[in-house]
Chain A
Amino acid sequence: MKFAVIVFPGSNCDVDMYHAIKDELGEQVEYVWHDTDSLDEFDGILLPGGFSYGDYLRTGAIARFSKVMQAVVKAAEAGKPILGVCNGFQILLEVGLLPGAMRRNESLSFICKPVELKVVNNQSMFSSAYKEGETITIPVAHGEGNYYCDEEMLAALKENNQIVFTYQDNPNGSLEDIAGIINEKGNVLGMMPHPERAVDELLGGADGLKLFQSIVRSWREANVVKA
């Protein structure tokens, strides 16, 4: 499986993402600069964390208009797995591939620490290697991870089982403890915690690895003809 790590001016978790795929997962991966207009050669798209365009105006607001985002939307429509972590999640919200918006953390502080998450939905292509209800530890590092959507949208998220991860002890004021959601079709995941920073016990934990393994497993089941 071949992944693209999209790099914007100001991305800073791109190397961690690359490392997770190449060294820990053992799959193919390439950096893709934001002015690329085609992602046709890739099977999965990763939007890393960071501060694209300095977070000017709003987090993700400028990045969503970069050339590569049209290709990301096209890849999403084609059903390819798209994972947005932290700033990547914020960009997915701004571009409208996921519903809702981010507010400043309730505490107004930048939070950087490992947090416990609950796997609420293990039926998605991003979470199938986890057990339902499993508690995992993944680090967060953000100033704006306070997820918001209106009541109607929240009801729809619940109805369609789109909430994949919730915080055990809400660090940022996020609505209903939401840490990660998928789109209705199930092929776009946005999450504030950083699974790519939890792929090796040396880094303090490897609970994020199963997320990437889930993506690859789902892709293999759909695309690789069994001998």
Chain B
Amino acid sequence: MFKVKVYVTLRESVLDPQGKAVTHSLHSLNYPEVSDVRIGKYMELTIEKSERDLDEVINEICSKLLANTVIEDYRYEVEECVPQ
């Protein structure tokens, strides 16, 4: 069994209105050193072992549904869990 952590963020080339608003807010809280904030989504998937290649399955899932690749990028981390 695997625990897969998926991070979806807007592409660098796409303006992130939420991130921009939070950056401004941090500046007004007197954190001028924060130059940028990008807001995204974090998802945890539990995936059972199967005959299919895990990376292939995750990439399919991400590009089909979890991310809209027109405006979003995704990356993921895989952790193998040992059932108790």
| Chain B residues with CB below 8 A from A101, complex form | 68, 70-71
Whether, in the assembled complex, B57 has its beta carbon less than 8 Å from a beta carbon of chain A, the answer is: no
| Chain A residues with CB below 8 A from B71, complex form | 101, 103, 148
For A149-161 the 0/1 string (1 means CB < 8 A from B) is 1100000000000
Whether, in the assembled complex, A34 has its beta carbon less than 8 Å from a beta carbon of chain B, the answer is: no
Residue of chain A at shortest CB distance from B14: A148
For B14-54 the 0/1 string (1 means CB < 8 A from A) is 11011001000000000000000000010000000000000
Interface residues on B, range: 10 to 19
In whole Å, how far is B19's beta carbon from the nearest beta carbon of chain A? 10
Is B15's CB under 8 angstroms from A103's CB? Answer: yes
Is B70's CB under 8 angstroms from A108's CB? Answer: no
- Most chain A CB within 10 A, of B13, B21, B68, is at B68
Whether, in the assembled complex, B82 has its beta carbon less than 8 Å from a beta carbon of chain A, the answer is: no
- Could you tell me which residues of chain A, from 30 to 71, have a CB within 8 Å of some CB in chain B? 57-58, 61, 65
In whole Å, how far is B59's beta carbon from the nearest beta carbon of chain A? 17
Whether, in the assembled complex, B66 has its beta carbon less than 8 Å from a beta carbon of chain A, the answer is: yes
In the complex with contacts A65-B65, A148-B71, A103-B10 CB distance below 8 A = yes
Complex CA–CA separation, A89 to B68 (angstroms): 15
Whether, in the assembled complex, A114 has its beta carbon less than 8 Å from a beta carbon of chain B, the answer is: no
In whole Å, how far is B21's beta carbon from the nearest beta carbon of chain A? 6
- Closest 5 A-B residue pairs measured CB to CB? A101-B70, A101-B71, A104-B17, A106-B17, A101-B68
Complex CA–CA separation, A198 to B41 (angstroms): 36
Is B17's CB under 8 angstroms from A146's CB? Answer: yes
The 22 sampled A-B contact pairs (Cβ below 8 Å) are A57-B65, A58-B68, A61-B68, A93-B70, A100-B70, A101-B68, A101-B71, A103-B10, A103-B14, A103-B15, A103-B17, A104-B17, A104-B18, A106-B15, A106-B17, A108-B21, A148-B14, A148-B70, A148-B71, A149-B70, A150-B70, A173-B17
| Chain A residues with CB below 8 A from B65, complex form | 57, 61, 65
| Chain B residues with CB below 8 A from A93, complex form | 70
Is B21's CB under 8 angstroms from A94's CB? Answer: no
Complex CA–CA separation, A100 to B71 (angstroms): 8
Is B68's CB under 8 angstroms from A94's CB? Answer: yes
| Chain A residues with CB below 8 A from B66, complex form | 57
Complex CA–CA separation, A93 to B65 (angstroms): 13
| Chain B residues with CB below 8 A from A65, complex form | 65
- Most chain A CB within 10 A, of B10, B13, B17, B66, is at B17
Residue of chain A at shortest CB distance from B39: A104
Complex CA–CA separation, A38 to B21 (angstroms): 45
Complex CA–CA separation, A105 to B15 (angstroms): 11
- Could you tell me which residues of chain A, from 152 to 207, have a CB within 8 Å of some CB in chain B? 173
| Chain A residues with CB below 8 A from B18, complex form | 104, 108
Residue of chain B at shortest CB distance from A64: B65
